[in-house]
Structure 1
Amino acid sequence: MAARALLRLHPPALPLPLPLLCLLPLLLLLLLASSAHGGGGGGLRVGFYEDSCPDVEAIVRKVVAKAVHDDPTANAPLLRLHFHDCFVRGCEASVLLNSTEGNQAEKDAKPNHTLEAFDVIDDVKAALEKRCPGTVSCADILAIVARDAVSLATRAVAEGRWGKDGNLYQVETGRRDGRESSAREAVKNLPDSFDGIRKLIKRFASKNLGLKDLAVLSGAHAIGKSHCPSIAKRLRNFTAHRDSDPTLDRLYAAKLRQKCRRPKDKTTELEMVPGSSMTFDTAYYGLVLKRRGLFHSDEALLKNEETRDLVHEYSRGSEERFLRDFGASMVNMGRVGVLTGAQGEIRKKCAVVN
């Protein structure tokens, strides 16, 4: 029907050669398929649920605000879930699926062992299922929750200086949920804290994200904490000589070694931005310039001219520009590999397929 409508709107001015007439249905199908495919954000829009579940964002914000009130460190884990979802299979909530007897899911892959706040996502889903059964996807929940989490951690937003709606940026919705999840794919696709700039650029490019997106989204490290195993190699075994990462400030490295006396210590918490790990701002970029970024991947931003220039700009420039750029890059990331239309499903529970 869609193909016939397209022909009625754009009839050929002259009779087409027979070979082209034979190919036309295939060409139209390819065109329609490409427009429905979510790789570039097709099918997503702000306000997707305005008729089917008009209170969706208010419901999500209420649950997220309570979670952050109960645990002020919850912002970063909620933001991180969306990142880890989108970099594996795209933003289709595969990170939320449980492993089964025959399959190890993403959440059980080593890079995801430190993921938290799945219970908050479950609470959001339960609230939405009660209000709008079978309507809002888990993938959209992750995207909205991430926006709310970072908005609540941004002083300009919390104080009402950013916008009346209390949002750092608008979220496009309309995603559907995938049915597969692979721990092996998570290991292969997720950026690693030890990645150098070339590998980071390659990983981001594979998701149609550019150098600016890399520099801006790295700013998510402004909030949250990590643990000793994530930086153990930087502190003691970076080379065969058992020395520390030379790109890490020596005094800072010494302080971190005091905290991480046992490399496998998973209980000691390390603030990404010491003294400011619950406030989303540009302080992270100042640390990177001082070679005090916690991860090797933070320092890697200084190894490329464009990302280095952005680090300098965000560290000394207007915080407003960074916040706007961050919102734009989050929207870009939220379009990666999405399922829309009749693709995928709307899970009733985010941890299992229907």
Structure 2
Amino acid sequence: MNRLYLITKTFCYCVCLILLLYGLFLLTDQLSGFLLGVILIISSIKFYLAKRLTKSKAERISFLSIVITVVLSSALFSSFNFFLHHTLTQDLPARAKNQFYTKSLLYDNQFLFKRIDFLKTLSVKSSKEAVVFYRPGDDHFANLAIQHIRKVISMNEKLIDIHQPVPVTVILYRNPENFQNQLPVHSYENLHGMYVPTEETIHLLVTKQMEENDEPFLELTAHEYTHHWIVSYLGQRGLVNGHLPRWFEEGIAEYAGLASIEKIPRFMPLQFIPFTRIQSVSDWANENSRNSPHLPYRQSYYAIDQLIRDGNQSKIKNLLLENNQNFYQTFQNELAESMVEFELRFLRDEMREYRENTD
């Protein structure tokens, strides 16, 4: 029984020490990480040698296991620290390092090296809001991304709520093939931007047209960053975005993207699709395909725009945060009309305005 207790205690100590050391090394750079590792290794060995004579054999084995855990963990984390900071940037924040570690461990054991092999060919700019990786010569777009993200944060605070999102990683691409290779498997067509929540990373493809006019780049940046803003906003409240219909989150992102460049698209008649049919990720991808007659992004934008023009801006926050019941029931409780009634009313109102403006 005593031996079982000792084994259990040793195991718990080792796990806790690994987590503690992991947290410490996330906060250190390459040189201080190595220094910390050396200090921990020397201290652990000296402590073990000092206690060796006063312990029973079982206790010495247990204590040696803890020392080995500290030594190996310190050496491993020190090496990763040096590797990341040596190949990428001295300013790499703790959250960015954590993304590399967890992604490679939990999702793809080739991810760390494949991603870093690509990123080390890029330049980098850092701010408290974002770490931007970009091709040398694209300083203009890197600066634009950071400046526009600050603007989007301010806009989303006015639209939804005060919130300081966690830093995001932004990767700018020029080569469409590199862009696709760095993305998770997806079914979207003609993609120019994607936010990957598990990486807290925005991937953006910079095109020739964006060199002539910044607005498409700014709109795309604002759209994808709003996805990050929403995920961060919900995450800090113990929620995830899984309860949200895809059209609702995409509508908010589309609204933020267009509003960030002060663009208000006029309503154009479209082949309307009921919102309940663009609720899941697969529904959205299917209806956003090249051959689809529907325009789910524009339709979702119109819905969010209608909520705001109705004076129901505060309801957007309530709909984001409510996850204890069916979204459409919450929608009806908040707006005093069903989803179908809302669809009919906003289409009728928009079509009336369209006719008045085109007559």
When the two structures are superposed, what TM-score results if normalisation uses the length of structure 1?
0.30
Structure number having the greater helix percentage:
2
Relative contact order, CA 8 A, sep 6+: which one is greater? Answer: 1
User: Whose Rg is larger?
Assistant: 2
When the two structures are superposed, what TM-score results if normalisation uses the length of structure 2?
0.29
